[in-house]
Structure 1
């Protein structure tokens, strides 16, 4: 997430929250695609994590040295974007003309929140521009960026913290509600795709399809097999970590498949997810575990007399982490970060499935026979088994092939062409290769056992942008 919302419009009822979601409906001709990706910075000389400021003791002296703050300042100078600050600390950048934003995850993961764009071709161009500027700035400080879904080497105690008030509140609360919340915050990275809906019914169908198929994305994008310098037993440890983070705000949303699903049902779910904070001015008030219902009624103990605002609601929604998240668009959250071609493959996969009515209907028919138990078992099995998992007795690899075929046909029919006359379907090519062979995680496991000699150090050269 780039920055917290600051809309002080008061809200007093559940109906207003429902209306807020309804107002997100977008005409199909204006459907856009937003792509977000995180990457883990490290110093090339010593493979240490990059702090906000200062220099790790295990890194050799350098003539030019900077931390995450220096990266942000360098990007600001190159891009001319506005700074996002938390007190005296610059913690992100945004393009005031709607061109996207850069933000920091808790452990310094550097995130590009891309602009809403019409085609994957434009997403590719956006990534080209981003990496060209970033790599120029980072090279001066000998900083590289891992293209993995989890830090392969550094222990949790070795990961620096970023000076963001909301993350301090979250870090204090996470161990109270799950075993792996701090690992999620400080050691993982992801790629996400954001897509629009045209109506409540359209949202429900897209939400159900994308929730049911997130394990397909998890398997195809599995890229986090290392923890603490050794194999962790998973293909997507990042996905497994999410299973043990906070059950109240994560998971596959079984209620979304029940009769009567709509904006109201999601509002009721979100109202019951405990809050982290209330932001007033530049101050984050720790209300972790409190009820948004109490804030809505003006009865929140930590903020007596405070009236809920639209910014409170939007910020609260940003702290809910299901496999697919509803805001005024749908966020696909099941994939590990990966090499450059994978950063465009994810939005291509879901644009092909969700933005073509025939593909969407066929995908809906594909997942319709699956029970809640089927979906939950697949979610539990996929981080370890990847494409070898099964759903209702069927290999996930076969499901993935069908899903990719539907997405490719959908992109063909979308017919959004680049200057060479290609539609967006070629962005799926890396996923077709994986579906017929092995995941990135499996490739890295083989390297670790052979050429790398049981060391993750080569990952800092071979798995870097």
Structure 2
């Protein structure tokens, strides 16, 4: 994909908001199992069970059938998550289904088939298979907690982008619930390094739009939808989404623990003194970001630095 085709679309991804609002939205993923057998469950059975739930409008699915609650922006994300998860869990339990906030599915691969079979997902599956086994494990057997945060204009917004990327390994390690070669983070690191960007490529230079454009142009194209669709197949640890930033590097958290995650992220994003202090501490080691991500995935990152 040529950079000149991607650049205007990437510029839109980096537009940033016009106001300094502090809203948060949570995307919470769960593994789903039959309550009796523990087996994977067809997506349509889950949809039927969730019909009528207040959380139903926010229900989605990942390729292996993982359930995702994509909740709207709110000033009380912790209370919202608690209410929505309790609601959806109750409806599913009535249909003998159970959800688990686990970052990696313990069931073997052959028991967790690819359930979303649109051309995009089939092409993605095929592409990842050409690299190794991690991609299909990522698609079908991992779950995360993703947090979306308002992205500010001006200097503050540039700082927000850098601090989330630089602090990513430490935050991932702090809230890790899996580690080692088959942990969720290791799986992402191995899936397709050209499109996941767990290094300092996105922070090179003073122009984040140019850096992201080069990043996207360097990834193999496996869909037929043009540059716009190609950009949706980029999976960096922090994804630019025009007016907000999407944190994607966290293991799936238990709902009761999400408040601690949100506190850490909002402090980095919205407390200027703290944000700049962390940037001063981490900028000198930017070139070590790739090794920091590897150490975080292996469970070997210095816990004092994490603190």
The TM-score, its normalising length taken from structure 1, stands at: 0.60
Spell out the pairing of 1:216-295 with structure 2 (5 A cutoff).
Answer: 216-224=170-178, 233=180, 237-278=183-224, 295=226
Distance 2:154 2:220 in 1: 25
**What CA RMSD, in Å, does the superposition of the two structures yield over aligned residues?**
2.4
Greater Cα offset, 331-340 or 260-269: 260-269
Residues 78 and 148 of structure 1: is their aligned pair in 2 closer, same or farther, counting only changes over 3 Å?
A: closer
Per-residue deviation, residues 233-258 of structure 1 (Å, max 9, x unmatched): 56x71111111100110133413332
Matching residue of 1:448: none
Spell out the pairing of 1:361-380 with structure 2 (5 A cutoff).
Answer: 361-372=276-287, 374-380=288-294
Q: RCO greater where, 1 or 2, for CA within 8 Å and sep 6 or more?
A: 2
Pair 1:37 & 2:28 matched:
yes
Gaps of 5+ in 2: none
Pair 1:75 & 2:32 matched:
no
Q: Is the 8 A contact 1:180 1:242 kept in 2?
A: yes
Q: Secondary structure at the match of 2:98?
A: strand
Per-residue deviation, residues 347-390 of structure 1 (Å, max 9, x unmatched): 22111111111111111111022141x222111122222xx42x
Spell out the pairing of 1:14-163 with structure 2 (5 A cutoff).
Answer: 16-28=8-20, 30-50=21-41, 52=42, 68-79=43-54, 94=57, 101-118=58-75, 122-152=76-106, 154-163=107-116
Distance 2:291 2:53 in 1: 47
Pair 1:352 & 2:306 matched:
no
Per-residue deviation, residues 150-191 of structure 1 (Å, max 9, x unmatched): 012x11111032234032221122111344100111111111
Residues 318 and 199 of structure 1: is their aligned pair in 2 closer, same or farther, counting only changes over 3 Å?
A: same
Q: Is the 8 A contact 1:103 1:111 kept in 2?
A: yes
The TM-score, its normalising length taken from structure 2, stands at: 0.89
Gaps of 5+ in 1: 1-11, 53-67, 82-92, 95-100, 226-232, 280-294, 296-311, 390-395, 402-465
Distance 1:22 1:151 in 2: 34
Distance 1:237 1:15 in 2: 34
Matching residue of 1:330: 245
Residues 239 and 246 of structure 1: is their aligned pair in 2 closer, same or farther, counting only changes over 3 Å?
A: same
Distance 2:131 2:275 in 1: 36
1:114 Cα shift?
Answer: 1.5
Per residue, is there more helix in 1 or in 2?
2
Distance 1:49 1:13 in 2: 41
Larger Rg: 1
Question: Number of residues paired by the alignment?
Answer: 302
Pair 1:342 & 2:257 matched:
yes
Q: Is the 8 A contact 1:75 1:133 kept in 2?
A: no
